[in-house]
Structure 1
Amino acid sequence: MRKLPVDALQPGMVVARAIYNADGQVLLNKDVTLKPSYLIRLRELGIPAVYIRDEEAGDLEIEDVVNEKTRLQAVKAVRDLFGSQQEGERGQAPLLADYARLERVVNSLLEDLLDRKELMLNLTDIRALDDYTFAHSVNVCILAMVTGLTLHYTRSALLHLGVGALLHDIGKTCIPLHILNKPGRLTVEEYELVCRHAQCGFDILRLQKEVSLVSARVALEHHERFNGSGYPRGLKGEEIHEFARITGVVDVYDALTADRVYRRAYPPYEAYEMLAGAGNFTHDYRIIKAFLLNVAAYPAGTMVELNNGEVGVVTGTSRGHSHQPRVRLLYHADGKPYTVPSSLDLTVDLDHFVCRVLPPEAVPPAGGEGSVAGVGREGREVL
Structure 2
Amino acid sequence: MRLLPTRTCTPGMRLGRCIFSEEGIILLNENVELTQGLIQRLQQYGVDFVYIKDAVTDDIQIEDPLSGETRMKAITEIRTHYRAFMETTGQRKLSKSHVLGKAFGNVMKMILDDLNEKPGTMIMLMNMNVLNTYLYQHSLNVCVYTTMLGMVNGYSRDDLMTLGLGALLHDIGKTKINQALIQKPGRLTSEEFDEIKKHTEIGFRMLKDEPNMPLLSAHCAFQHHERENGSGYPRGIKGKEIHDYAKWIAVADSYDAMTTHRAHRLAMLPHQAMENLFAGVGTLYEQKKVALFRDNVAIYPLGLTVTLSSGERGVVVRINPAVPQRPVVRVLEGPDGEIFKAPYEVDLSSKLTVFVSKVDEH
What SS class does the counterpart of residue 358 from structure 2 fall into? strand
In the alignment, which of 304, 327, 330 is matched to residue 328 of structure 1? Answer: 330
Higher RCO (CA 8 Å, separation ≥ 6 residues): 1
Per the alignment, residue 368 of structure 1 pairs with none
Indicate if the aligned counterparts of 1:164 and 1:214 stay in contact, CA closer than 8 A. yes
In the alignment, which of 227, 250, 253 is matched to residue 252 of structure 2? Answer: 250
How many Å separate the matches in 1 of 2:90 and 2:263?
Answer: 21
Indicate if the aligned counterparts of 2:85 and 2:176 stay in contact, CA closer than 8 A. no
Output aligned runs, 1:80-91, within 5 Å: 80-87=80-87, 89=89, 91=91
Indicate if the aligned counterparts of 2:101 and 2:211 stay in contact, CA closer than 8 A. no
Instruction: Give how far 1:44 is off.
Output: 5.1
Output aligned runs, 1:131-142, within 5 Å: 131-142=133-144
Q: What is the TM-score when the length of structure 1 is the normalising length? A: 0.89
1:23 aligns with 2:23: yes
How many Å separate the matches in 2 of 1:297 and 1:44?
Answer: 26
Per the alignment, residue 11 of structure 1 pairs with 11
Instruction: Give how far 1:45 is off.
Output: 4.1
Instruction: Give how far 1:49 is off.
Output: 3.3
Amino acid at match of 1:120: M
Per the alignment, residue 72 of structure 1 pairs with 72
Amino acid at match of 1:174: K
How many Å separate the matches in 1 of 2:200 and 2:71?
Answer: 25
What SS class does the counterpart of residue 85 from structure 1 fall into? helix
How many Å separate the matches in 2 of 1:116 and 1:315?
Answer: 19
Amino acid at match of 2:223: E
Per the alignment, residue 291 of structure 1 pairs with 293
In the alignment, which of 233, 236, 239 is matched to residue 237 of structure 1? Answer: 239
Q: What is the TM-score when the length of structure 2 is the normalising length? A: 0.94
How many Å separate the matches in 1 of 2:118 and 2:138?
Answer: 21
Per the alignment, residue 306 of structure 1 pairs with 308
1:162 aligns with 2:168: no
How many Å separate the matches in 2 of 1:326 and 1:15?
Answer: 23
How many Å separate the matches in 1 of 2:89 and 2:40?
Answer: 34
Per-residue CA deviations over 1:73-128 (Å, capped at 9, x if unaligned) read: 21222111111134463644442534322112111111121111222123332332
| Count of residues in Structure 1 that have an aligned counterpart in Structure 2 | 359
Per the alignment, residue 216 of structure 1 pairs with 218
Amino acid at match of 1:175: I
Output aligned runs, 1:294-373, within 5 Å: 294-359=296-361, 361=362
Per-residue CA deviations over 1:178-234 (Å, capped at 9, x if unaligned) read: 100100211111000000000000000013121111111000000000111100011
In the alignment, which of 130, 134, 148 is matched to residue 127 of structure 1? Answer: 130
Instruction: Give how far 1:310 is off.
Output: 0.8
1:178 aligns with 2:180: yes
- Fraction of identical pairs, as percent: 37
How many Å separate the matches in 1 of 2:9 and 2:292?
Answer: 36
Instruction: Give how far 1:24 is off.
Output: 2.3
Instruction: Supply the RMSD in Å over aligned alpha carbons.
Output: 1.8
Moved more, 211-220 or 291-300: 291-300
Give 5+ residue unaligned stretches, structure 2.
none
Per-residue CA deviations over 1:227-276 (Å, capped at 9, x if unaligned) read: 11100011111110110010011100111111112221111101112212
Per the alignment, residue 59 of structure 1 pairs with 59
Indicate if the aligned counterparts of 1:3 and 1:52 stay in contact, CA closer than 8 A. yes
How many Å separate the matches in 1 of 2:33 and 2:93?
Answer: 45
How many Å separate the matches in 1 of 2:142 and 2:7?
Answer: 27
Indicate if the aligned counterparts of 2:23 and 2:136 stay in contact, CA closer than 8 A. no
* Change over 3 Å in CA distance of 1:334–1:35 after alignment to 2: closer
Amino acid at match of 2:112: L
How many Å separate the matches in 1 of 2:48 and 2:360?
Answer: 18
Per-residue CA deviations over 1:138-171 (Å, capped at 9, x if unaligned) read: 0100011111111100010001000000000000
Indicate if the aligned counterparts of 2:298 and 2:319 stay in contact, CA closer than 8 A. yes
Per the alignment, residue 113 of structure 2 pairs with 111
What SS class does the counterpart of residue 57 from structure 2 fall into? coil
Instruction: Give how far 1:21 is off.
Output: 1.6
How many Å separate the matches in 2 of 1:86 and 1:173?
Answer: 5
Per the alignment, residue 376 of structure 1 pairs with none
What SS class does the counterpart of residue 304 from structure 1 fall into? strand
How many Å separate the matches in 2 of 1:183 and 1:92?
Answer: 29
How many Å separate the matches in 1 of 2:31 and 2:212?
Answer: 43
Give 5+ residue unaligned stretches, structure 1.
362-383
How many Å separate the matches in 2 of 1:4 and 1:88?
Answer: 41
What SS class does the counterpart of residue 11 from structure 2 fall into? coil
